[in-house]
A and B are shown apart, each in its own frame.
Chain A
Amino acid sequence: MSYLADVATLARKDLRLELRARDTLPAMLLFVVSTLVVFHFTLPRDASRLAAFGLLWVALVFTALLGLTRCFAAEREQDVMDGLVLAPSDRSAIWLGKAISMLAFLVAAETVALPAFALFFDPGIDGRTIAGVALADLGICAVGTLLAGMAAASRARELLLPLLFLPLAIPIVIGGVGASVAGGSRYVEFLALYDAIFAIICWASFEYVVTE
């Protein structure tokens, strides 16, 4: 229980920091909406559903990447990471707290992005698409937070994070587009499996990311 209390404390702190600084969420919202507007005007009117959903997933992945670049910004810029690392709580709680706050930002961006997508492209968003987005969010936040932690320790972090994250996000895009346009639950199950495997790997390895 104390582990979950630590996670809640850390996630609440990140949400409070965002409420005060407003560094991340407004940028994510602006990015995803303007990307969808650009896609709306560049995609031909007779474009397929597959193309429209492909662009939605590109927009979502890059929006998430934008948020992830700020994920450890407060700790890095204010040198607070040592304080968190020295606390007696399990260090994976730092990862989980960050991943939860990141998930909150991403879900907030998607609550604007999905209606905007439906408005611009009228692709027919069904339950499988929503499930695909929800599962993809979990995978993006699990993997992205670990990689953001790794990149934060590097001088070339702005370059390193996309280089590490985008290859690992390819299965998420495949699963997400598949869940949106293909029938059956195969792609949703694939995303769930991806989430389970990578969440365990990230949870277990975060300690090594924040310690020398």
Chain B
Amino acid sequence: MIRAQGLEKRYGEKRVLRGVDLELGRGGFLVVTGPNGAGKTTLLRLCVGLAQPTAGELEVAVPRGRVGFLAHEPLVYRELTALENLDLYGRLYRVPERRERIGMLLERFRLWDARRERAGSFSRGMLQRLALCRAFLHEPDLYVLDEPFTALDDEGVELLGRELLERRERGTFLVATHDPGRVQALATASLRLAA
């Protein structure tokens, strides 16, 4: 599903990713680790097409609309409510039975009661839950998750763990994390990036 060889990314003189090789087959679960500045986020942005490699080869055999991307930022409008944000993405991703799926995800991530509140009033943990709802809404084939456990409380961590376990059967995962222990049981491979 993803194959990279000698992948490199530079911003001007600064090389943020050097010579990365990776292969992630359908149904795989690759955990990317490494210290701050090792290029984990850059690697994920390259894989979803938000950045272009400076050198090397990268093949991602998944159409753009079948990728679920969780970024550092929640990618939601703060002036819109949780429902409105998910409805916007649901329409753009042409999600079938949009309302039902949005309702189900909001229930699962315990945001149903806050569904009509503006995202700007959410705590960081609630925003992360909303971002997870957004990334999972269209039932992607490839999940690209950047630090998915960030800002989640114990309940949120448990909810996400359960969700990953359930989705593990039908998706391919590329997950960058500082805390690989949380997804160790699900992982089929790991990649450590050097600083």
Q: How large is the interface on B (under 10, 10 to 19, 20 to 34, 35 or more residues)?
A: 20 to 34
**Interface of B (DSSP majority class):** loop
A-chain residues with CB within 8 Å of residue B69 when the two chains form the complex: 82, 86
A16 to B93, CA, bound (A): 20
| Closest A residue, CB atoms, query B78 | A78
The answer to whether B93 touches A87, judged by C-beta atoms less than 8 angstroms apart, is yes
| One of B17-25, B84-92, B158-166, B176-184 contacting the partner | B84-92
Out of B48, B80, B92, B134, name the residue touching A9 (CB < 8 Å).
Answer: B92
> How far, in Å, is B34 (CB) from chain A's closest CB?
22
B-chain residues with CB within 8 Å of residue A84 when the two chains form the complex: 92
A87 to B51, CA, bound (A): 15
> How far, in Å, is B87 (CB) from chain A's closest CB?
9
| Closest B residue, CB atoms, query A14 | B77
A186 located at the interface, meaning its Cβ lies under 8 Å from any Cβ of chain B in the complex? no
With contacts A6-B92, A9-B92 taken as known, whether A86 is within 8 angstroms of B48 at the C-beta atoms is yes
The answer to whether A6 touches B91, judged by C-beta atoms less than 8 angstroms apart, is yes
**Interface of A (DSSP majority class):** helix
> How far, in Å, is A25 (CB) from chain B's closest CB?
14
A82 to B45, CA, bound (A): 10
B-chain residues with CB within 8 Å of residue A20 when the two chains form the complex: 79-80, 118
| Closest A residue, CB atoms, query B66 | A88
A-chain residues with CB within 8 Å of residue B80 when the two chains form the complex: 13, 16-17, 20
Out of A5, A80, A87, name the residue touching B65 (CB < 8 Å).
Answer: A87
A-chain residues with CB within 8 Å of residue B88 when the two chains form the complex: 9, 13
B124 located at the interface, meaning its Cβ lies under 8 Å from any Cβ of chain A in the complex? no
Residues on A facing B (Cβ under 8 Å): 2, 5-6, 9-10, 13, 16-17, 20-21, 74, 78-80, 82-89, 211-212
